Amino acid sequence: MKKIGFIDYFLDEWHANQYPEWIRKASGGQMAVSYAYGLKDADRGLSNRAWCEQQGVALLDSIEAVVEQSDLLVVLSPDHPEQHEALAQLPLQSGKPTYIDKTFAPDRKTAERLFERAERCATPLYSSSALRYAAEYAELKREGIETIASWGPGSYENYSIHQIEPIIALMGSDAARVMYTGTSRSPALLIGFADGRQASIHHFGWECPFQIAVKYESGSSVVVKPESDYFQLFIQDLIAFFETGKPSVPPSDTVAIITLIEYGLKAMETPYTWIELPKS
């Protein structure tokens, strides 16, 4: 059995609560979360020790100990990406397959540093929103997409990745500029690609489910709402990564996604003005 180590800002959070059982089932018991480390206890909820007792996981006293004793590594902290670089420093030097949870990094430069460190140390690395794996999105024809309009819930800071990730997966990573078109209560971002294609994201509150409209150069269009269990599809992809050491998401996609999120925040300061994105 392969032993997985969790490294988190604090362990009592939704992803850490769900992943252990999902991984165990998806791997047929061949992989299990065995060790964990949390930098701090949750402000509300279980302490790290109580979380480990509840999950049947050994709480270790350092990231170094988790890295040494684990075969595979997961850096969590999904709502605190500013913690990822520090939490991932030793994992990315280990040579052991490492998954870093969404949102991968707080900005483009950090994302690039994480991938550069992993490459120097021959550490397999990837990150993704689970929405990338929605079966309904995977079935869409990618060739000839002219425009995508996306809707979804949540705040821009934490949830924009769930709309941007599928857009980049479908349209490619050559986004060139962004424009903020939303309000303080309904964030919205227009994304311009180098060849003139466009995509937009819209946050309409928690009552709005994820969905996208896709317009093709042929003139046809389709509206898709992901209703498949995309989290389980993501977990299957994670298991495949742990088995092969080969990520399904190119680093260029992840860097492009983080760049869009970062520059979208900058675009909020000057709505209805194009902001050019840095070139690779």
Residue 142: per-residue pLDDT: 95
pLDDT class for 143, splitting at 50, 70, 90?
very high
| pLDDT tens per residue across span 179-233 | 999 998 999 999 999 999 999 999 999 999 999 999 999 999 999 999 999 999 9
| pLDDT tens per residue across span 101-141 | 999 999 999 999 999 999 999 999 999 999 999 999 999 99
Mean pLDDT of the chain: 97
DSSP collapsed to 3 states, the chain: CEEEEEEECCCCCHHHHHHHHHHHHHCCCCEEEEEEEECCCCCCCCCHHHHHHHHCCEECCCHHHHHHHCCEEEECCCCCHHHHHHHHCCHHHCCCCEEECCCCCCCHHHHHHHHHHHHHCCCCEECCCHHHHCHHHHCCCCCCEEEEEEEECCCHHHHHHHHHHHHHHHHCCCEEEEEECCCCCCCEEEEEECCCCEEEEEECCCCCCCEEEEEECCCCEEEECCCCCHHHHHHHHHHHHHHHCCCCCCHHHHHHHHHHHHHHHHHCCCCCCCEECCCC
pLDDT class for 279, splitting at 50, 70, 90?
confident
| CATH architecture of structural domain 132-227+261-276 | 2-Layer Sandwich (3.30)
| pLDDT tens per residue across span 12-63 | 999 999 999 999 999 999 999 999 999 999 999 999 999 999 999 999 999 9
CATH superfamily of 2-127: NAD(P)-binding Rossmann-like Domain (3.40.50.720)
Which sequence spans correspond to the domains of the chain? Answer: 2-127, 132-227+261-276
Question: Whole-model pTM?
Answer: 0.95
| pLDDT tens per residue across span 247-273 | 999 999 999 999 999 999 999 999 999
| pLDDT tens per residue across span 207-221 | 999 999 999 999 999
